[in-house]
Amino acid sequence: MTERRALPAADADPTIAALPAGTRALLAELWTERAASELAAGEAFAAVERDLAALDADPAVLALAARAVADEPEHAALCMLLAEAYHGAPLPLPAPRPFQLPVHDGADDVLRRHLHVVGLCCINESIAVAFVAACLADAAGPLLAGVHREHLADEIGHARVGWAHLGSARVDAEVRAALIPWLPRLLTANLAVWHDRIGILPEAGVPGHALPPARALRAATIAAAREIIVPGFAHVGLPTAAAATAVDRAAR
């Protein structure tokens, strides 16, 4: 978690007040759903933090993971701040979206823990970085930009959990060899989930409201895979040919 900066008052954002009522209702609903997802992400990070502890992960990695667990409820609160700004009145905090860590059939318990770290942090959170950056670039109002700036800084920290772990001595040659065949599968699966979720968003987006067109958001996920994740695997010494092919397939 980075140090929080003061955000503009919700009722001081003229871009929100200028929207038609129907669009405001839609965005209030989307941000309430995002809050539920953030709460689920907090549970996911808590589970991955336990995985990392069981793996005797590097202390630096454990510290980053602990921060991430604390960040996600704050993200939910930021989402509700936006939801209420669009709604124009207080809203109840939703229940967390149901979540279960992937089972990764065929992996033993130790490998499954490593896969959870790679899947949530190296892949999902790196994609989230590019996604939030794309949304931030489309945020015209001060409140939206402020919330997305906070969110982006935190997502960078969350992705670092995975890359710090892969770069650590705790991920030895045997673990690396076991991870390699899973990388394209994880990329394919995570991109599919992202694209499914993007599919429920308005195809044309809502210009100026941190909601770019769906095709741009899909493209951001692919760009993250091609320009952050696959080169990231290379950076920590993992082969990337199969992973790159998986991304190409997902982009079609």
Residue 16 or 220: which CB sits closer to another protein?
A: 220
User: In the range 46-75, which residues lie near another protein by CB under 8 A?
Assistant: 58, 60-61, 64, 75
One residue of 89, 103, 173, 241 binding another protein per CB under 8 A: 103
251 binds another protein (CB under 8 A): yes
| 97 C-beta neighbours (distance < 10 Å), count | 15
Question: Candidates 7-15, 21-29, 87-95, 216-224 — which segment interacts with another protein by CB under 8 A?
Answer: 216-224
Residue 177 or 249: which CB sits closer to another protein?
A: 249
Q: What radius of gyration, in Å, describes the C-alpha atoms of the chain?
A: 18
Q: Which of 85, 81, 4, 72 is nearest to 39 (CA)?
A: 72
Angle at alpha carbon of residue 177, lines to 173 and 179, rounded to 5°: 115
One residue of 8, 88, 102, 208 binding another protein per CB under 8 A: 102
197 binds another protein (CB under 8 A): yes
167 binds another protein (CB under 8 A): yes
Per the listing, tokens 């100026």 go with 208
Backbone torsions φ then ψ of 170, nearest 5 degrees? -70, -25
Q: How far is the CB of 42 from another protein (least distance, A)?
A: 11
What is the DSSP track for 120-186?
IIIIIIHHHHHHHHHHHHTB-SHHHHHHHHHHHHHHHHHHHHHHHHHTSTTS-HHHHHHHGGGHHHH
d(CA 146, CA 215): 24
Inter-axis angle of helices 59-87 and 142-166, nearest 10: 160
Q: How far is the CB of 116 from another protein (least distance, A)?
A: 8
User: In the range 104-163, which residues lie near another protein by CB under 8 A?
Assistant: 104-105, 115, 119-120, 123-124, 126-134, 136-138, 145, 148-150, 152-157, 159-163
User: In the range 169-188, which residues lie near another protein by CB under 8 A?
Assistant: 169, 182, 185-186, 188
Question: Candidates 6-14, 29-37, 82-90, 172-180 — which segment interacts with another protein by CB under 8 A?
Answer: 29-37
One residue of 10, 111, 216, 242 binding another protein per CB under 8 A: 216
- Using DSSP, state whether 113 is helix, strand or coil: helix
Q: How far is the CB of 136 from another protein (least distance, A)?
A: 5
Residue 93 or 101: which CB sits closer to another protein?
A: 101
Residue 94 or 212: which CB sits closer to another protein?
A: 212
Positive or negative: CA dihedral 129, 77, 81, 97: positive
User: What is the DSSP secondary structure assignment for residue 200, as one 8-state letter?
Assistant: T
Question: Candidates 10-18, 31-39, 82-90, 173-181 — which segment interacts with another protein by CB under 8 A?
Answer: 31-39
27 binds another protein (CB under 8 A): no
